[in-house]
Chain A
Amino acid sequence: MRELYAKLNRLFPLGELTERRSNLAFITLTAEYLRPVLLHLRDREGFSHLVLLTAVDWLEEGQFQLSYLLSDRANGRDIGLRLMLPRDGASMESIHDLWPTAATYQRELREMFGIDFPGSPRINEEFILEGWTDIPPYRRDFDTLKFAQENFVARPGRETWDPARHMKDQLYPDGA
């Protein structure tokens, strides 16, 4: 993967390389170089399969991380491309014309994280949720417990035991 990274780095300004295994590595890059790098990997290097496209919410940094994982079946190697997006008004270029399957991932990210992909097919249609009115549920500032308590009726009698406090009460009943 080092040779591939060196080769790519001569063509595009890339960020750091993170090697996980001999056949799996991640490359950080900026959003504007994503499409040329993806095209190069697909057409020149044999990474013909988009395995997944997913997001991570870095709430404290105010950023979303997008991960594009590509697979080269012939040579048995995988490469991941990571990029950061500003969290406010997150929007990213769609890659549904490179891999049609990306449209489904992009619809999911649109609904669950609120990341927009302008031009992606059916991007604004409901994907899994129906009639969702709150902020996208996979964002980390969405409080699922609070939402569940406000929306769904709970059956009384369910107790929650904090393990640390429970064990302390059990072992040190005097409160030492």
Chain B
Amino acid sequence: MKAELEKRIVKGPDGIEFEVDPLQDYYCQEAPTVMPAAYSKIVEGFFNWARAESLWILGFGTGCGAIEMRPLMTPRFDAYRYGVQWRPTPRQANLFIISGYLSVKTLKRAIRSYEQMQNPKYVIGLGSCTINGGMYWDSYNTLKRLDYYLPVDLYIAGCMPRPEALLQGFEDLKEIIRAGKGEGANQYAQYFDWYKMNQKQVIHDWDMPDYNW
């Protein structure tokens, strides 16, 4: 456990001392719950249409694939015309692109970022590394299957996929969401223990809250 997560006495700016238990006070350790669909199919369909039309991507590049997202922001490919944009914080994003290889060290940050995103949220695995390890298949610190650690809605194959492939991927993801199959967040909540077990199997020094929202 990190020192900053341990229970301690803190002196406030007004001189009053008080006890802080970061895991209880700073984080919500409640496990996530499954969000039921809306009361009517038509309403849920409308929600899904709205969700599909505003994919906000978390600006977090985990590997070399992040370089393929930069041209999408520029006039040549211009992903913004599809309602896709990049956001600086997990709180404002609903799409997490794991862009390329994911090392164990990055997985920690990816888990924390993913858990801080609001429901409904989607994950795209970009590049061969997220599918089966790609060229890092025998690496000592690169994960070989992303879907054991985070629920993946869509993979975009390639090493690296071109920006056009990403645009096609966004369109495919919209189809998935409109069909009501973008249930990654609910899957994560439902099989939370399984995901945590897999995550803790590779992260040997688990020094963060089990779930942080």
- B140 adjacent to A148 (CB under 8 Å): yes
Q: Counting CB contacts under 8 A, is B14 at the interface?
A: no
- A152 adjacent to B145 (CB under 8 Å): yes
- A158 adjacent to B132 (CB under 8 Å): yes
0/1 interface trace, chain B 193-204, chain A, CB 8 Å (1 if under): 000001001111
- A129 adjacent to B105 (CB under 8 Å): yes
Closest CB of chain A to B147's CB: distance in Å?
9
Q: Counting CB contacts under 8 A, is B25 at the interface?
A: no
Alpha-carbon distance between A134 and B141 when the two chains are bound, in angstroms:
12
Alpha-carbon distance between A133 and B104 when the two chains are bound, in angstroms:
13
| Central interface residue in B108, B138, B145, by most chain A CB within 10 Å | B138
Q: How large is the interface on B (under 10, 10 to 19, 20 to 34, 35 or more residues)?
A: 20 to 34
Alpha-carbon distance between A144 and B138 when the two chains are bound, in angstroms:
6
Q: Counting CB contacts under 8 A, is A33 at the interface?
A: no
A residues within 8 A CB of B205?
Answer: 130-131
- B105 adjacent to A154 (CB under 8 Å): no
Q: Counting CB contacts under 8 A, is B131 at the interface?
A: yes
Alpha-carbon distance between A131 and B105 when the two chains are bound, in angstroms:
9
Q: A130-B205, A153-B144, A154-B145 are in contact. Are A148 and B105 (CB under 8 A)?
A: no
Q: Counting CB contacts under 8 A, is B148 at the interface?
A: yes
Alpha-carbon distance between A40 and B201 when the two chains are bound, in angstroms:
51
Alpha-carbon distance between A134 and B132 when the two chains are bound, in angstroms:
23
Provide 14 A-B residue pairs closer than 8 Å at the C-beta atoms, listed in order of the A residue.
Answer: A129-B105, A130-B205, A131-B104, A131-B204, A137-B141, A148-B133, A148-B139, A153-B144, A153-B145, A154-B132, A154-B137, A155-B133, A155-B145, A157-B132
